[in-house]
Amino acid sequence: MRKLRILYATLVFVFLYLPLGVMVVYSFNASRFSMAWKGFTLDWYVKLFSNAALMQAALNSLLIAALAATCSSILGTLIAMALQRWRFPSRKVIHTSLFVMMMSPDIVIGISLLVLFMALSLPLGFWTLLMAHVTLCVPFVSITVYGRLLGFDPHVVEAARDLGAGEYEVFRHVVLPMVFPAVLAGWFLSFTLSIDDVIISFFTTGPTFEVLPLRIYSMVRLGLKPEVNALCAIMILITAVAVFVSQRFLKEKS
């Protein structure tokens, strides 16, 4: 029984990792057209870094991800604090909506924002993409931070209030330091969400501002290419590092 369990778990992990591993291995394959192994090369990586359009898209992606993660961390933390500390009309609706937004299929978020931007006649590009990614990430940050806020002793805040701290001081010097690990975890979460997103970007950016996943999308549709393997290998590495770091931050709380 025990052996069977180990075998089953191993098979699932093989299923999850074999395709990724194969892709990483083939990103070092010298052969361009066949899957046969023709020797080790770094040519595809060199080629990748000399592709100006691709590098621009990668930089754009990093920029959007960093900005979206920062904006949604700030906004998400404020929302979480407001929901936890204050009673105001529509509080319950907002709380539920955040949960619904987190569950919403990307395509529903993508087209609803496209319709919004069209209704406001905003040109699709950097700003619309940033707003869309912030919308995507905020619920994840708020729910993470909210969860951490619930774990705190409310007396700490009351003590600060009794000692004369205003709402802003309480936020800046009491709440923020306490939830900071959760905010950082939320930042990394948002960064990964933003950099991984295909569907929402597809609807909310224009030709003036291209991001990496969309670039990969157009390359992938044309079939297998070793450069794409190399690019995907780099993306896997970045994700693995981001996940590792954000797990570290979340672990600090326990």
Partner 1 sequence: MKNDGFFKLAVIVGVISWMAIFAFVPNILVFLASFSSTSTQNFIEPGFSLSNYARLMDTTHLSILLSSLRLSGLVTVICLVTAYPFAAILARTRKPLRNTLLLLVVIPFWTNSLVRTYAMTAMINSSGIVNNVLLSLGIIDTPLAMMYTPGAVVLGLVYTLLPFMILPLYAALERLDRRYLEAARDLGASPWRAFWKVVVPLTMPGIVSGCMLVFLPGIGMFYVSDVLGGAKAMLLGNFIRDQFLTTRDWPLGAAASVTLTVLMGVMLLLYWKSAARLGGKEA
Q: 91, 83 in Cβ contact below 8 A?
A: yes
With CB under 8 A as the rule, give the number of residues binding partner 1: 76
Q: What are phi and psi of 195, to 5 degrees?
A: -70, -25
Positions in 40-79 near partner 1 (CB under 8 A): 75, 78-79
Verify binding: residue 19, partner 1, rule CB under 8 A. yes
Q: What angle do CA 240, 244, 245 make, to 5 degrees?
A: 120
**Amino acid at site 91:** R
Positions in 170-229 near partner 1 (CB under 8 A): 171, 192, 195-196, 198-199, 202-203, 213, 216-217, 220-221, 224, 228-229
**148-to-80, 113, 250, 254 alpha-carbon distances in Å:** 10, 30, 10, 11
Alpha-carbon distance of 76 to 179, in angstroms, equals 12
Which range of residues in 43-51, 86-94, 149-157, 173-181 is near partner 1 by CB under 8 A? 86-94
- Residue 83, SS3? helix
Which range of residues in 21-29, 45-53, 144-152, 178-186 is near partner 1 by CB under 8 A? 21-29
Q: 80, 147 in Cβ contact below 8 A?
A: no
Q: Which of 3, 39, 52, 103 binds partner 1 (CB under 8 A)?
A: 103
Which range of residues in 41-49, 147-155, 178-186, 241-249 is near partner 1 by CB under 8 A? 241-249
Q: Closer to partner 1 at the Cβ: 67 or 111?
A: 111
Sign of CA dihedral 60, 66, 69, 75: negative
Q: How far is the CB of 241 from partner 1 (least distance, A)?
A: 10
Which range of residues in 39-47, 149-157, 162-170, 176-184 is near partner 1 by CB under 8 A? 162-170
